[in-house]
A and B are shown apart, each in its own frame.
Chain A
Amino acid sequence: MRGRQLMALVRKDLRLELRTRETIVAMVLFAIVMLAILQFGFGTRDDDLTRFVGGLMWVTLAFTAVLGVGRSYVAEREQRVLDGLLVSPVPRTVMLGAKAIAIFLYMTVVEIVVIPLVGIFFVKGPYWDAIGWIAIAAVLANICIALSGTLFSGLALFTRARDLILPVLFLPALVPVVIAGAGATHAVAGGPHDMSEWRGYCLFLLAYAILFALVSVATYDAVFDD
């Protein structure tokens, strides 16, 4: 029953998105622009930014995540879907899970573009051998982003100036994810090929995901309690 509700909600999000494609396209474009801006922001035309690969990738992904998470409840809010959803007998945790899955999928699409692009743009070292390890870290980080993002976008949804509130709430909570994601990427692709460091960061991401899953499940009922 819950599984069916969950799949129905996820399908609704994806169908809306596939019809308009407004969020995904914007996120991917934004990420590419971010990468270019970061390169120019360094102020050098240095071709080899291998040392900064973790930072370049995860700064881009963090800001793209804020953009995507900010969009995630817009359809519900603008078309008053949320009102219907809230009076329907769908448990809040199912709503949480559906939103988190949608955000996870959006971030995955963005990363499918961004991760190879970072390698092409910035890295002259042996990047492609490490891409599997980077992908694993990225999947873990996506779970973290999806869980905390769902919680914070729910909080920001009915505030005044919510477009402003969301980054202020979400980015500080995302700092550990950026630290761990960038650290893991740097460990395998940024020079010091250090698998134990990569493992440490991945374990950290796992811990983050578990902790935020617990907090979200415990508090999500209260987010939409009007």
Chain B
Amino acid sequence: MTDGPTRIPGQRAAVIWGALATILVVVSTIGVFLIAPEDADQGIIQRIFYFHVAIAIASLVAFAVACVAGILYLRSRDERWDDVGEASIRIGLLFSVLVVITGSIWAKASWGTWWVWSDPRLVTYLIVVLIYAAYFVLRSSAEDDRKMRYSAIYAIAGFASVPLSFYSVRVAESFVHPVVFTSGGAAMPGTMLGWFVVSQAAMIALFVALLEVDLLGRRSERALRRLAMRLESA
């Protein structure tokens, strides 16, 4: 576990993913705003869709990573998995907040009101934000080994709550309200779908890049702490 003299492990990954994320973000921005066709029904507003949904899915990827990291932490009790879990949930929470905000803006643009309880995506992500915000409350009120253990368990239980929130909102929705957005999925024309895939890839690359940079920082902090401890004992 000794670090190399010139390079911290993960440095190359951070650089590669950062570069990939930058390229994909630029390409997807150009594609979404300049090349993709205007939606027949919703006009320019529909362009929010590309990043709104892409960020939503990327946040789910982040929470899934945190869940797996939690399982691996409980198996190995290796604090690096705790790092991965916390960093993933922090980015996932950031992304979910963005989903709620952009969704709210979309609601304002298409229905003239900032909040619509009948839109399952907005409601679900509000619940998701609440679930994962509690993760940090839990972390801040326990120490060391216990903090990591509880965080890992909560990351697993939280990820189990996510599909439940999704489905619980949609049970209501399928009976009470018609489906609000149909511009996603199979109804999308090919070019739109293509640009959506590109922006999806961009958002996932952005998540991985942020995660790698975050982990890099944590590794440096840890290496520094070890160094300080060694100097003190010397």
The answer to whether any beta carbons of A and B sit under 8 Å apart in the complex is: yes
Answer whether residue B111 sits at the interface, using C-beta atoms and an 8 A cutoff: no
Contacts of B160 in A (CB 8 A): 211-212, 214-215
Total chain A interface residues with beta-carbon distance under 8 A: 40
- Min CB–CB distance A47 → chain B (angstroms): 25
As a 0/1 sequence over residues 183 to 226 of chain A, the CB contacts with chain B under 8 angstroms (1 = contact) are 10001000000101100110010011001101100110011011
Q: Are A175 and B74 in contact (CB under 8 A)?
A: no
Q: Are B161 and A160 in contact (CB under 8 A)?
A: no
Answer whether residue A33 sits at the interface, using C-beta atoms and an 8 A cutoff: no
Q: A161-B141, A183-B172, A222-B74 are in contact. Are A172 and B156 (CB under 8 A)?
A: no
Closest chain A residue to B137, Cβ basis:
A168
Q: Are B171 and A200 in contact (CB under 8 A)?
A: yes
Answer whether residue B157 sits at the interface, using C-beta atoms and an 8 A cutoff: yes
Contacts of B141 in A (CB 8 A): 159-162, 165
Q: Are A175 and B127 in contact (CB under 8 A)?
A: yes
Contacts of A171 in B (CB 8 A): 130
Closest chain A residue to B172, Cβ basis:
A183
Q: Are A183 and B171 in contact (CB under 8 A)?
A: yes
Q: A173-B157, A175-B165, A200-B171 are in contact. Are A222 and B134 (CB under 8 A)?
A: no
12 contacts between A and B (CB under 8 A): A171-B130, A173-B161, A176-B161, A176-B165, A179-B168, A183-B171, A187-B175, A194-B175, A200-B174, A218-B156, A223-B150, A225-B149
Contact of B138 among A159, A214, A218 (CB under 8 A): A159
- Min CB–CB distance B20 → chain A (angstroms): 34
Q: A159-B141, A165-B138 are in contact. Are A151 and B157 (CB under 8 A)?
A: yes
- Min CB–CB distance A24 → chain B (angstroms): 27
Whole-angstrom distance between the alpha carbons of A197 and B175 in the complex?
Answer: 7
Answer whether residue A169 sits at the interface, using C-beta atoms and an 8 A cutoff: yes
Whole-angstrom distance between the alpha carbons of A187 and B131 in the complex?
Answer: 27
- B151-169 residues at the A interface, CB under 8 angstroms: 152-154, 156-158, 160-161, 163-165, 167-169
Closest chain B residue to A179, Cβ basis:
B168
- Min CB–CB distance B107 → chain A (angstroms): 20
As a 0/1 sequence over residues 147 to 169 of chain A, the CB contacts with chain B under 8 angstroms (1 = contact) are 01001100110111110010011
- B126-147 residues at the A interface, CB under 8 angstroms: 127, 130-131, 134, 137-138, 141-142, 146
Answer whether residue A59 sits at the interface, using C-beta atoms and an 8 A cutoff: no
B residues in contact (CB < 8 Å) with A:
74, 127, 130-131, 134, 137-138, 141-142, 146, 149-150, 152-154, 156-158, 160-161, 163-165, 167-169, 171-172, 174-175
Q: Are B175 and A222 in contact (CB under 8 A)?
A: no
- Min CB–CB distance A3 → chain B (angstroms): 26
Contacts of A214 in B (CB 8 A): 160
Contacts of B149 in A (CB 8 A): 222-223, 225
Closest chain B residue to A148, Cβ basis:
B157
Contacts of A179 in B (CB 8 A): 168-169, 171-172
Answer whether residue A102 sits at the interface, using C-beta atoms and an 8 A cutoff: no
Q: Are A165 and B157 in contact (CB under 8 A)?
A: no
Whole-angstrom distance between the alpha carbons of A160 and B149 in the complex?
Answer: 15
- Min CB–CB distance B229 → chain A (angstroms): 25
- Min CB–CB distance B139 → chain A (angstroms): 10
Whole-angstrom distance between the alpha carbons of A214 and B157 in the complex?
Answer: 10
* Contacts beyond the supplied A159-B141, A172-B131, A222-B149: 9 A-B pairs with Cβ under 8 Å: A169-B134, A172-B130, A175-B130, A176-B161, A176-B168, A183-B172, A194-B175, A211-B160, A222-B74
